[in-house]
């Protein structure tokens, strides 16, 4: 078991003095078979969560080895992509509107762009877009379905030119990264002076997280950093971003995505598979019923500038 995991220091301040919030429930067998759909299906497995005594960041320690994590993302397939497509296309429009309020019609980079739903809307809104994504499958989808300019691989290894992009976005990405500060520093480097960073990540300090504790839907094997707005702003400041502020946009969730965790809770895995099949009429109808809520209810959403 030991060789599959690695210890890490605090991914924000580099310290190694922490208190354990709760222990891992992952067993060796749980790590077989990689990961299927990253979003929408909350797992019931999680790593040991610790809190840095120096900077108060909550992070998973130890983590699965970084090359295993990256390998899993690279092979990941979103089996529900055709079911969630319409909903995600609608939902990501609010993120484009948020970015446009501060900086429109310029060069935009989306790190961890997935199937490109946000990027497709951004390009329709006038941005010149570029995407970076680890999942081969998602990249192929973004190119084939939307004709997007997306590169597969690790952003921090791509060496984009300095002072190049006007906008950099990371939507629900930071919680997955073994070295978030390295990625943020690189995002800051490729951003033009005065350029905009827009970022969202689940809020460990939010009301749902505090009520649900370990059963909060964002406590999952693949979430290895847990930010609050305070610790998120802290790491962004460390990466060199300025004028940070919390913002909000209209987030949406479909009825289907609310029902699936419930079915999983009741161990109705067969029903989950049926609902997520590409041809599922019931899945499609349930996914088209959308509930709007303020993003800040469950997420830290912060913008900053270089
Ligand atoms: Zn720390």
Q: 193-231: per-residue pLDDT in tens?
A: 999 999 999 999 999 999 988 888 889 888 999 999 999
Place of tokens 């004028």: 243
Distance 25 CA to ligand 1 centre (A): 24
Question: Is the pLDDT score of 136 beyond 90?
Answer: yes
Q: Cα(216)–Cα(202) distance, rounded to whole angstroms?
A: 10
Distance 79 CA to ligand 1 centre (A): 36
3-state SS class at 139: helix
Distance 24 CA to ligand 1 centre (A): 20
Query: Where is average pLDDT lowest: 107-111, 201-205, 293-297?
Result: 293-297
Place of tokens 């830290």: 300
Contact yes or no for 191/165 (Cβ under 8 A): yes
Q: Cα(110)–Cα(278) distance, rounded to whole angstroms?
A: 27
Question: Is the pLDDT score of 31 beyond 90?
Answer: no
Report the percent of the chain where pLDDT is more than 70. Answer: 96
Q: Cα(66)–Cα(86) distance, rounded to whole angstroms?
A: 33
Q: Cα(251)–Cα(194) distance, rounded to whole angstroms?
A: 27
pLDDT at 264: 73
Distance 207 CA to ligand 1 centre (A): 23
Q: How much is the average pLDDT of 10-20? A: 98
Candidates 220, 280, 222, 227; CA nearest to 256 is: 280
pLDDT band at 302 (very low <50, low <70, confident <90, very high): very high
pLDDT at 82: 78
Distance 154 CA to ligand 1 centre (A): 24
Q: How much is the average pLDDT of 267-273? A: 79
pLDDT at 266: 77
Look up residue 199 and give its two tokens: 């970022």
Distance 234 CA to ligand 1 centre (A): 10
Q: Where are the domains of the chain?
A: 81-203+238-254+285-305
pLDDT at 3: 82
Distance 228 CA to ligand 1 centre (A): 13
Candidates 120, 40, 111; CA nearest to 81 is: 40
**Burial profile 42-66: b = 16 or more Cβ within 10 angstroms, e = fewer:** bbeebbbbbbbeebbbbbbbbbbee
Distance 15 CA to ligand 1 centre (A): 5
Distance 52 CA to ligand 1 centre (A): 5
Distance 13 CA to ligand 1 centre (A): 4
Candidates 68, 152, 75, 58; CA nearest to 111 is: 152
> What are the percentages of helix, strand and coil residues in the chain, rounded to 5?
40, 25, 35
Distance 87 CA to ligand 1 centre (A): 37
| Domain 81-203+238-254+285-305 architecture | 3-Layer(aba) Sandwich (3.40)
Q: Tell me how crowded residue 1 is: count the other CB atoms within 10 A of its CB.
A: 8
Candidates 62, 76, 51; CA nearest to 178 is: 62
pLDDT at 42: 54
Q: Cα(20)–Cα(218) distance, rounded to whole angstroms?
A: 18
pLDDT band at 79 (very low <50, low <70, confident <90, very high): confident
Distance 16 CA to ligand 1 centre (A): 8
Distance 239 CA to ligand 1 centre (A): 14
pLDDT band at 38 (very low <50, low <70, confident <90, very high): very low
Candidates 204, 205, 246, 199; CA nearest to 223 is: 204
Contact yes or no for 6/55 (Cβ under 8 A): no
Q: How much is the average pLDDT of 107-133? A: 97
Average pLDDT over all residues of the chain: 90
Distance 303 CA to ligand 1 centre (A): 22
Distance 7 CA to ligand 1 centre (A): 14
Q: How much is the average pLDDT of 243-256? A: 90
Cα-based distances in Å from 294 to 33, 85, 291: 35, 21, 10
Is the Cα dihedral 220, 222, 224, 227 positive or negative? negative
Distance 91 CA to ligand 1 centre (A): 34
Distance 186 CA to ligand 1 centre (A): 20
């Amino acid at each position: 078991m030991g060789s599959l995991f690695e210890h890490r220091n605090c991914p924000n301040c580099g310290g190694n003095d922490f208190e354990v919030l709760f222990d891992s429930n992952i067993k060796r067998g749980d790590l077989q078979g990689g990961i299927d759909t990253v979003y929408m299906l909350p797992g019931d497995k999680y790593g040991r969560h610790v809190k840095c005594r120096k900077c108060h960041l909550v992070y998973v320690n130890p983590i699965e080895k970084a090359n295993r994590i990256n390998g899993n993302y690279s092979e990941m397939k979103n089996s529900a992509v055709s079911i969630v497509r319409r909903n995600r296309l609608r939902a990501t429009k609010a993120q484009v509107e948020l970015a446009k309020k501060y900086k429109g019609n310029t060069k935009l980079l989306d790190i961890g762009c997935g199937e490109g739903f946000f990027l497709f809307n951004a390009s329709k809104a006038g941005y010149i877009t570029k995407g970076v994504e680890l999942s081969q499958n998602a990249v192929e989808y973004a190119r084939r379905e939307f004709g997007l300019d997306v590169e597969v691989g690790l952003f921090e290894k791509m060496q984009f030119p300095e002072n190049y992009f006007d906008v950099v976005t990371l939507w629900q990405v930071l919680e997955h990264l073994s070295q978030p500060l390295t990625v943020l520093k690189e995002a800051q480097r490729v951003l033009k002076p005065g350029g905009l960073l827009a970022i969202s990540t689940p809020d460990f300090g939010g009301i749902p997280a505090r009520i649900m504790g370990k059963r909060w839907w964002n406590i999952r094997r693949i979430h290895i950093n847990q930010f609050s707005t305070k610790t998120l702003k802290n790491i962004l400041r460390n990466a060199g971003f300025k004028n940070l502020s919390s913002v909000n946009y209209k987030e949406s969730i479909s009825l289907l995505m609310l029902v699936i965790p419930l079915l999983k809770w009741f161990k109705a895995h067969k029903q989950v598979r049926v609902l997520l099949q590409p041809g599922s009429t019931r899945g499609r109808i349930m996914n088209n019923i959308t509930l709007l809520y303020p993003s800040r209810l469950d997420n830290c959403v912060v913008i900053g500038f270089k």
